[in-house]
Amino acid sequence: MLIKEIIKRGFQGSVIGVFIIESLGVIMMFFSKEVVSFSKEFLISQYVAATIIGFVFGALNILFQYEKLGIFKATIIHFLVLLLVYIPCANWAGWFRSDITVIISTMVIFISIYSTIWLICYFQWKKDVEEINTKLKLRKES
């Protein structure tokens, strides 16, 4: 059952990842004044990188369901594995140059975006838990 859920989440993440990357590509082309053509290999690398990254993002979300792991450990494992998958895939797909300065700045951007999304999710979870506790308390009192 666990493997089935991981695969399901991975495929959902793949669809979302491909949608996001391809949408960003279309938006960038829309605002570009250059006429651009892409090779078959380039388009395939974009699709494959987005699929792999999306799959890992989606599949790893299962970590947050395990209370034994705790939110801190789950976040660290989630973050490190994502970073270890994202950087090589993004580099292979040509999303940034293979230059140490660029790689470090990409990691800083990745950390910033990850932290922002994590904080948004955390505060939403916290709000949801407070609402559930309030409803349970009201139910218990009546």
Q: What is the pLDDT of residues 19-38, one digit of tens each?
A: 998 898 888 888 888 877 88
pLDDT above 80: residue 142: no
Single out the residue of 60, 72, 62, 88 nearest to residue 122, CA to CA: 72
Q: What is the pLDDT of residues 35-69, one digit of tens each?
A: 778 889 988 999 999 999 999 999 998 998 888 88
- What pLDDT is recorded for position 8? 94
Phi–psi pair at 29, nearest 5 degrees? -70, -35
Interior angle at CA 118, CA 63 and CA 11, nearest 5: 50
pLDDT band at residue 130, thresholds of 50, 70 and 90?
very high
Q: What is the average pLDDT across 110-136?
A: 90
pTM of the model: 0.78
| Amino acid (1-letter code) at residue 17 | G
Q: In sequence order, what are the residues at sequence separation of 6 or more whose Cβ sits closer than 8 angstroms to the Cβ of residue 5?
A: 62
- What pLDDT is recorded for position 22? 87
Task: Encode 3-13: b = buried (16+ Cβ within 10 Å), e = exposed.
Answer: eeebeebbebb
Give me the helix-helix angle, 100-141 and 70-92, nearest 10°: 150
Q: Which residue has the tokens 């999304």?
A: 117
CA 114 – CA 98 distance, rounded (Å): 22
Interior angle at CA 97, CA 10 and CA 42, nearest 5: 60
CB 10 within 8 A of CB 39: no
